[in-house]
């Protein structure tokens, strides 16, 4: 199961340039900085994964037909770091209630891979995750799914279906309301970010003393431009629209990256086949520069997409 890019997810974590903390606050700041680094790595993982999705879809049709469940799920270093921060039991409920009459085999296979991923989370957490599976054989009460934030789908095709994840930690809740095969590469980053929010959420008694979060004005403009019906669109629908827009931008960046890297590689090959040492070194430098610039562009797209989603959540919360 290829969810996430373990090596690349940690390769581009930005260096910590913050001032040296005092002895009294060093532990607290170190923990907060660790979470920031993990978030940064997850953003890059999502960006690189999107490029891999594009390449697999457009250049390797055979890979898309690879049988599901042939490989065990592996977790990124970023996820493993977050799981080490669990100091209490995290409850995870996996809703995989699927009607065979209306759900395709590919969705069934995807649900099986997500199940493997959650099993990997449970194993890596060392007893700090209690995983409950709710499938078609369970006596599901729709109200319980809605209470957990998991939404029904395929209502127009047959029996109500559910494919989502609910999390509970120290009285707080998070959910991935509906997970889709089209965004398989985002499942691990989304799930780990949800766990981070649960871990970092303030104690209820301290909430009143917090200063309201400042809303990113540029992100607000972008969200309103991408979601014209922002007032009536649900959080789930808005998030999907923003992700679709990000995926289009990722795909365009992937095509540009592929073209520029290929040209740089050809230039290096020509230099190696008759150029001087200086020409070869210049070609190598150019190739490294192209790769660096494209990686930075992917990081920017990922960060902007996450900022838009965070802003959408703030706008929806403020409306209630």
Nearest by Cα to 288 from 265, 255, 269: 265
Task: Judge whether 102 lies within some domain.
Answer: yes
Task: Judge whether 211 lies within some domain.
Answer: no
Task: Give tens-digit pLDDT for 196-211.
Answer: 999 987 655 444 444 4
Task: Judge whether 210 lies within some domain.
Answer: no
Query: Residue range 113-141: average pLDDT?
Result: 89
Please check whether residues 198 and 234 belong to one and the same domain: no
Start-end of H helices in the chain = 6-9, 26-59, 61-64, 77-83, 105-124, 142-147, 187-200, 217-226, 235-272, 277-319
Nearest by Cα to 63 from 75, 55, 74, 73: 55
Task: Judge whether 178 lies within some domain.
Answer: yes
**Which residue has better confidence, 263 or 212?**
263
Give the pLDDT of residue 319. Answer: 65
Task: Give tens-digit pLDDT for 148-165.
Answer: 888 888 888 888 889 999
Please check whether residues 107 and 197 belong to one and the same domain: yes
How wide is the angle at C-alpha 240 spanned by C-alphas 183 and 48, nearest 5°? 40
Please check whether residues 78 and 195 belong to one and the same domain: yes
Please check whether residues 128 and 267 belong to one and the same domain: no
Please check whether residues 239 and 195 belong to one and the same domain: no
Question: What is the pTM (predicted TM-score) of this model?
Answer: 0.50
Task: Judge whether 208 lies within some domain.
Answer: no
CATH number, domain of 156, equals: 3.40.30.10
Give the pLDDT of residue 211. Answer: 42
How does residue 214 score in pLDDT terms, banded at 50, 70 and 90?
A: low
For residue 70, is pLDDT > 70? no
Please check whether residues 104 and 239 belong to one and the same domain: no
- In what helix (H) or strand (E) does residue 167 lie, and over which residues does it extend? strand 161-169
Residue 184 contacts residue 128 (beta carbons within 8 Å):
no
76 contacts: CB under 8 Å, gap ≥ 6: 4, 5, 6, 9, 10, 41, 42, 45, 188, 192
Last residue of a domain, one of 203, 237, 259: 203
Q: What b/e readout covers 103-127, taking b as 16+ CB neighbours within 10 angstroms?
A: beeebeebbebbbbbbbbbbebbee
Task: Judge whether 11 lies within some domain.
Answer: yes
Task: Give tens-digit pLDDT for 79-94.
Answer: 999 999 999 999 999 9
Nearest by Cα to 93 from 162, 185, 187, 3: 162
For residue 95, is pLDDT > 50? yes
Give the pLDDT of residue 120. Answer: 95
**Which residue has better confidence, 39 or 307?**
307
Query: Residue range 38-43: average pLDDT?
Result: 49
Please check whether residues 94 and 181 belong to one and the same domain: yes
Which one-letter DSSP state was computed for residue 213?
Answer: P
Please check whether residues 197 and 235 belong to one and the same domain: no
Query: Residue range 51-74: average pLDDT?
Result: 46
Give the pLDDT of residue 271. Answer: 87
CA distances from 304 to 218, 300, 311 (A): 10, 6, 10
Please check whether residues 199 and 239 belong to one and the same domain: no
Task: Give tens-digit pLDDT for 229-254.
Answer: 988 888 888 888 988 888 888 888 88
How does residue 2 score in pLDDT terms, banded at 50, 70 and 90?
A: very low
Please check whether residues 163 and 230 belong to one and the same domain: no
Tally of CA atoms within 13 A in the half-sphere of 266 that contains its CB: 6
Please check whether residues 179 and 305 belong to one and the same domain: no
Task: Give tens-digit pLDDT for 264-317.
Answer: 888 889 888 988 888 888 888 888 888 888 777 877 887 788 888 888 887 877
Last residue of a domain, one of 140, 171, 203: 203
Task: Judge whether 93 lies within some domain.
Answer: yes
**Which residue has better confidence, 36 or 106?**
106
**Which residue has better confidence, 311 or 187?**
187
Please check whether residues 66 and 141 belong to one and the same domain: yes
Query: Residue range 40-48: average pLDDT?
Result: 50
For 43-85, what is the HEC assignment?
HHHHHHHHHHHHHHHHHCHHHHCCCCCCCCCCCCHHHHHHHCC
Task: Judge whether 315 lies within some domain.
Answer: yes
The domain tally of the chain equals: 2
How does residue 21 score in pLDDT terms, banded at 50, 70 and 90?
A: very low
Domain limits for position 313: 217-319
Last residue of a domain, one of 143, 176, 203: 203
């Amino acid at each position: 199961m290829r969810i996430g890019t373990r090596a690349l997810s940690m390769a581009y974590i930005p260096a910590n340039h913050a001032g040296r903390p005092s002895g009294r606050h060093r532990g607290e700041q170190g923990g907060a900085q660790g979470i920031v680094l993990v978030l940064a790595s997850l953003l890059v993982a999502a960006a690189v994964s999107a490029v891999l999705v594009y390449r697999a879809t457009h250049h390797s049709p055979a890979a898309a037909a690879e049988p599901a469940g042939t490989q065990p799920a592996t977790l990124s270093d970023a996820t493993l770091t977050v799981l080490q921060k669990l100091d209490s039991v995290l409850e995870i409920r996996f809703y995989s209630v699927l009607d065979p009459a209306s759900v395709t085999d590919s969705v069934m296979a995807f649900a099986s891979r997500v199940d493997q991923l959650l099993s990997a989370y449970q194993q890596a957490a060392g007893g700090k995750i209690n995983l409950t599976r709710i499938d078609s054989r369970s006596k599901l009460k729709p109200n319980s799914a809605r209470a957990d934030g998991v939404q029904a789908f395929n209502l127009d095709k047959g029996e109500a279906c559910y494919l989502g994840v609910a999390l509970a930690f120290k009285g707080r809740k998070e959910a991935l309301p509906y997970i889709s095969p089209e965004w398989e590469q985002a499942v691990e980053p989304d799930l780990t970010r949800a766990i981070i929010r649960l871990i970092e959420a303030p104690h209820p008694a301290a909430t009143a003393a917090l200063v309201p979060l400042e809303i990113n004005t540029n992100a607000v403009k972008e969200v309103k431009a991408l979601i014209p019906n922002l007032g009536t669109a649900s959080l789930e629908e808005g998030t999907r629209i923003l992700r679709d827009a990000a995926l289009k931008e990722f795909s365009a960046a992937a095509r540009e990256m592929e073209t520029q890297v290929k040209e740089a590689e050809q230039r290096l090959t020509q230099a190696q086949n008759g150029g001087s040492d200086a020409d070869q070194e210049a070609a190598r430098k150019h190739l490294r520069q192209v790769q660096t610039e494209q990686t930075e562009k992917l990081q920017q797209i990922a960060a902007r997409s996450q900022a838009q989603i965070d802003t959408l959540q703030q706008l929806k919360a403020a409306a209630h």
